[in-house]
Amino acid sequence: MQHADLDEVVAAELVTWNKLTPPRWADRALVGSESEVVSWFGSLARRELELDAEEVLFARKLGRGARPIALLGLKERLLYRGAVSVILD
Protein backbone atom coordinates (compact mmCIF):
# COMPACT_ATOMS: atom_id res chain seq x y z
CA MET A 1 0.00 0.00 0.00
CA GLN A 2 2.80 2.38 -0.87
CA HIS A 3 0.60 4.67 -2.94
CA ALA A 4 -2.52 4.87 -0.79
CA ASP A 5 -2.91 7.89 1.50
CA LEU A 6 -3.15 5.98 4.77
CA ASP A 7 -4.21 9.08 6.73
CA GLU A 8 -7.26 9.49 4.49
CA VAL A 9 -7.97 5.74 4.40
CA VAL A 10 -7.93 5.45 8.20
CA ALA A 11 -9.93 8.64 8.80
CA ALA A 12 -12.64 7.56 6.36
CA GLU A 13 -12.87 3.97 7.61
CA LEU A 14 -13.18 4.88 11.29
CA VAL A 15 -16.37 6.89 10.69
CA THR A 16 -17.99 4.59 8.11
CA TRP A 17 -20.42 1.81 8.90
CA ASN A 18 -22.85 -0.51 7.20
CA LYS A 19 -26.36 0.96 7.34
CA LEU A 20 -27.78 -2.46 8.23
CA THR A 21 -25.73 -2.75 11.43
CA PRO A 22 -25.01 -0.44 14.37
CA PRO A 23 -21.81 1.62 14.27
CA ARG A 24 -18.68 -0.24 15.35
CA TRP A 25 -18.01 1.35 18.71
CA ALA A 26 -14.41 0.08 18.79
CA ASP A 27 -13.77 2.00 15.55
CA ARG A 28 -15.51 5.08 16.92
CA ALA A 29 -13.32 4.92 20.03
CA LEU A 30 -10.25 5.23 17.76
CA VAL A 31 -11.44 8.54 16.25
CA GLY A 32 -8.89 11.09 17.39
CA SER A 33 -6.14 8.46 17.41
CA GLU A 34 -5.85 8.13 13.64
CA SER A 35 -2.07 8.63 13.65
CA GLU A 36 -1.62 5.62 15.94
CA VAL A 37 -3.89 3.51 13.70
CA VAL A 38 -1.92 4.65 10.62
CA SER A 39 1.32 3.66 12.36
CA TRP A 40 -0.09 0.24 13.38
CA PHE A 41 -1.55 -0.52 9.96
CA GLY A 42 1.49 0.83 8.09
CA SER A 43 3.76 -1.53 10.00
CA LEU A 44 1.43 -4.44 9.20
CA ALA A 45 1.32 -3.51 5.52
CA ARG A 46 5.13 -3.53 5.26
CA ARG A 47 5.22 -7.16 6.41
CA GLU A 48 3.36 -10.21 5.29
CA LEU A 49 -0.20 -9.21 6.09
CA GLU A 50 -2.30 -12.09 7.41
CA LEU A 51 -6.03 -11.63 6.88
CA ASP A 52 -8.66 -12.87 9.30
CA ALA A 53 -11.93 -14.51 8.25
CA GLU A 54 -15.04 -12.36 8.25
CA GLU A 55 -17.92 -12.76 10.66
CA VAL A 56 -21.33 -13.33 9.11
CA LEU A 57 -24.48 -11.87 10.63
CA PHE A 58 -27.97 -12.42 9.31
CA ALA A 59 -30.30 -9.45 8.87
CA ARG A 60 -33.98 -10.27 8.82
CA LYS A 61 -35.90 -9.50 5.66
CA LEU A 62 -39.62 -9.10 6.26
CA GLY A 63 -41.34 -12.13 4.79
CA ARG A 64 -38.21 -13.24 2.92
CA GLY A 65 -35.97 -14.95 5.46
CA ALA A 66 -32.57 -13.51 6.28
CA ARG A 67 -29.78 -11.79 4.38
CA PRO A 68 -26.16 -12.56 5.23
CA ILE A 69 -23.92 -9.58 6.02
CA ALA A 70 -20.16 -10.12 6.10
CA LEU A 71 -18.35 -8.12 8.77
CA LEU A 72 -14.66 -7.61 8.12
CA GLY A 73 -12.14 -6.66 10.79
CA LEU A 74 -10.49 -3.25 10.85
CA LYS A 75 -7.25 -4.29 9.13
CA GLU A 76 -9.16 -6.07 6.35
CA ARG A 77 -11.40 -3.02 5.82
CA LEU A 78 -8.39 -0.69 5.77
CA LEU A 79 -6.65 -2.91 3.21
CA TYR A 80 -9.76 -3.01 1.04
CA ARG A 81 -10.37 0.76 1.28
CA GLY A 82 -6.69 1.45 0.52
CA ALA A 83 -6.69 -0.83 -2.52
CA VAL A 84 -9.87 0.78 -3.84
CA SER A 85 -8.42 4.28 -3.33
CA VAL A 86 -5.33 3.32 -5.36
CA ILE A 87 -7.52 1.94 -8.17
CA LEU A 88 -9.76 5.02 -8.19
CA ASP A 89 -6.78 7.38 -8.33
Q: What is the mean pLDDT of residues 24-28?
A: 89
Half-sphere exposure of 35 (CA within 13 A, CB side): 0
Q: What is the mean pLDDT of residues 28-41?
A: 93
Q: Tell me: pLDDT of 2 over 60.
A: no
Residue 38 neighbours by CB distance under 10 Å: 18
Query: Of all residues in the chain, what percent carry a pLDDT higher than 70?
Result: 97
Residue among 38, 29, 49 nearest 8 (CA) = 38
Q: Evaluate if pTM is beyond 0.75.
A: yes
Q: Tell me: pLDDT of 1 over 70.
A: no
